[in-house]
Amino acid sequence: MAISKQHDEVINYGKIVSVRGSVIDARFENSLPAVYTLLQAGENLEIAIEVLSQLDDHTIRGIALTPTQGLARGMQIETNGKQLMVPVGKRTLGRMFDVFGNTIDHLKPLAQGEKRNIHQAPPPLDKRSTHSEIFETGIKAIDVLIPLERGGKAGLFGGAGVGKTVLLTEMIHNMVGQNKGVSMFCGIGERCREGNELYEAMKDAGLLENMIMMFGQMNEPPGARFRVGHAALTMAEYFRDDEHKDVLLLIDNIFRFIQAGMEVSGLMGQMPSRLGYQPTLETELSALEERIANTDTGAITSIQAVYVPADDLTDPAAVHAFSHLSATIVLSREKAGEGLYPSIDFLQSNSKMTTPGILGDRHYKLAQQIRQTLAQYEDLKDIISMLGMEQLSVGDRLVVNRARRLERFFTQPFFATEKFSGVKGEVVSLKDALDGCERILSDEFKDLPENAFYMIGKIEEALKKKEVKQEGADAAKPAV
């Protein structure tokens, strides 16, 4: 248990005193490691442990970031006093990493270069930008009604199978394809199948060169899943602060981060809070979220998928995530069942950017008018289901027709689903999306069938659909 000097590093040795699953207690006689210090154990030092608390003057308690098979009481444990570090810089572009910064894409080894600590302080307030800008995604429904903030945090809320990952994948395609910034994908507690599919999709689309991927998979210990978000943020911060670039950070799924924290908290013996969540939930989430910011040198814009347990938006995980977000996109199982993709519930979704000062008067008034039309349609649905459209007044029928056309106009063919649907994906500019909505609200297309607006890009495509159908109908008429 002496301290020795090796390769210009001071190595501190200790002994393991207990192993309980992923929780390791170790005793150090001379110098007690600080919280967050990385410890190594095992025959080849292959087991990594992060210090989470100091029990007394000589004992620490840590959580393993790797499986602990083979560890036993009395075994030696060592540390060089450093925390977990990951590689940063341009050499990381186009690669896939685990929480330790090791490449997992089976390509050539990563070039030597700078590494940084995953535990960083958020940017101070005087370095943050106070100017609000819109971040265009090329997705009509989001750009018109739930505009995202450059350097802000947007949440994708939804249960299992409503399209969170597909929407995230589409945003990566649109952002990396149009912008010259960097895209960072962080998979927390996701299935390895999803990671592999995303990697192959980005490779096929030629988007990997400006993208970094990091995964803490579902089968990994809770400690690794709990730290993968911090590791990804460290890589993203390099491009914002040193390269002065804009970074799009996609996190799938922030609930799995909270869930990993809950597992770690339970393993550490902390008293659970409401619904079994950890008592430190807000602190842990804030430590991650506050690092995502818009500074005077660049911005990290984050879009985070948030799994909502049992579709209950009052769940503590969803409530705490809400408090950090500048925009909330709620995905609806009912809309997904109707085939309206992206299946966004417009009346539950909102953005703090929807003000006349940021959007401009025309966009703001249009957005309010659309919301009002959709809300009126929602109120009329019960009457329609009981009595039918015939019992509505002429004015109400017009509202229903506008709302149903708007709902279908807000569907959009995605690049991410091309191989499943056979329909070519489209990116729609904000100007084209606003023009289409304005023309629908002015009843310019009231004679067009509703399905002409389904899965189109610009509004002109609805007219083309009608022409094609008309030609088909004419061709099918028997010759006289």
pLDDT tens-place values along the chain, 480 residues long: 444 444 567 899 999 999 998 999 999 998 999 999 999 999 899 999 999 999 999 999 999 999 999 999 999 999 999 999 999 999 999 999 999 999 999 999 999 999 999 999 999 998 888 888 898 899 999 999 999 998 899 998 887 788 887 888 888 888 776 666 789 999 999 888 888 888 888 887 777 888 999 999 999 999 999 999 999 999 999 999 999 988 999 998 899 999 999 999 999 988 988 888 999 999 999 999 999 988 888 899 999 988 888 888 889 998 999 889 999 999 999 999 999 999 999 999 999 999 999 999 999 999 999 999 999 999 998 888 888 888 888 999 999 999 999 999 999 999 888 878 888 889 999 999 999 999 999 999 988 999 999 999 999 999 887 766 665 555 555 544
Rg (CA), the chain: 26
What is residue 366's predicted lDDT score, i.e. its pLDDT? 96
Tokens encoding 467: 């022409």
How much of the chain is helix, strand and coil, in % rounded to 5? 40, 20, 40
Residue 441 CB neighbours (<10 A): 16
What is residue 5's predicted lDDT score, i.e. its pLDDT? 46
In degrees and rounded to multiples of 5, residue 194 shows phi and psi of: -65, -40
Taking alpha carbons only, the member of 278, 266, 360, 375 closest to residue 320 is 278
What is residue 179's predicted lDDT score, i.e. its pLDDT? 60
Coil, strand, or helix at residue 456?
coil
Helix ranges (H only) for 32-179 are 140-145, 164-178
Distance in angstroms between the alpha carbons of the first and the last residue of the chain: 101
Catalytic entry in 191, 333, 352, 371: 191
Catalytic entry in 164, 335, 402, 405: 164
Cα–Cα distance between 7 and 11 in angstroms, integer?
10
Distances from the Cα of 158 to the Cαs of 252, 329, 337, in angstroms? Answer: 12, 9, 14
Cis peptide leading into residue 122 (ω within 30°): no
What is residue 1's predicted lDDT score, i.e. its pLDDT? 41
Catalytic entry in 190, 237, 289, 407: 190
What is residue 358's predicted lDDT score, i.e. its pLDDT? 92
Burial (Cβ within 10 Å: 0-12, 13-18, ≥19) of residue 36: middle
Known catalytic membership, residue 136? no
Known catalytic membership, residue 190? yes
What is residue 193's predicted lDDT score, i.e. its pLDDT? 84
Cα–Cα distance between 2 and 78 in angstroms, integer?
10
Taking alpha carbons only, the member of 91, 79, 72, 92 closest to residue 25 is 72
